[in-house]
Structure 1
């Protein structure tokens, strides 16, 4: 018994139509489905909602709920804003840079390109305040992932005991340090 893939990931949105249009216009996602109900099917709670689904490629689906009767959206104030995000893979660095240029041309503030060694990323926020990351693989990604795979359990064990960053993969960001 094993999970096959993520069926969908769902977030709350402020406005379903604005959210769909933003993802279609800025990230070229297709709007694939909308479901609206006056009560929640799982809990039978009376609570009207709009549930929209966007194609994030290769069977991945990003979904949003607009909940007009609930208090205004908030976020966990104890979690730094950079932690909770959704990341999408793009083909290569040229595609990543093209998305960065498109987003900035549409008035969206973009952070990066950030070099994480195994991949490169840009970061920005959607109209709901959700942090979004676009990432492309580094040409040497496969070799680096093999190195990381060989130390993952040791790193996790050390972290669980010390709550300090293990040094097993210091080489990962050494490239950045050598540029400084």
Structure 2
């Protein structure tokens, strides 16, 4: 029973040809059913929300949920999806450093124009545009995102094509 780990259970459900409804109960023997006008539209299907008790927070861990679904729902013919938070590394060029370098070069050129002696030879650094591109530093940052992960990918034997 869901009430072993949750204080309150909320179920959003929608059939193809019907309105979306919400069922709520707090384990006291009473429940309420009403049209779901506030929730996200499902299109079709069921979304179950368990409001966990404070001493049962282990059931909010991704690995624990996957183990339970695998153990008790391995042969269900419908997709079971879990929202999981993942990380990916993304390379980002260091634009801030490039802007600072450009400012320094501009300042040096201004100083040369304003107060430079005519007798002294001018030394200029010549760089190819390719070398500048290679000098750009790229940082690897970890970007977090949320993704729907389907937990049951194998179909039961009786659902497979022979």
Interval of TM-score (by shorter of Structure 1 and Structure 2): under 0.3
The alignment's TM-score, normalised by the length of structure 1, stands at: 0.24
Mark the structure with the bigger radius of gyration.
Answer: 2
The alignment's TM-score, normalised by the length of structure 2, stands at: 0.26
**Higher relative contact order, structure no. (Cα contacts within 8 Å, ≥ 6 residues apart):** 2
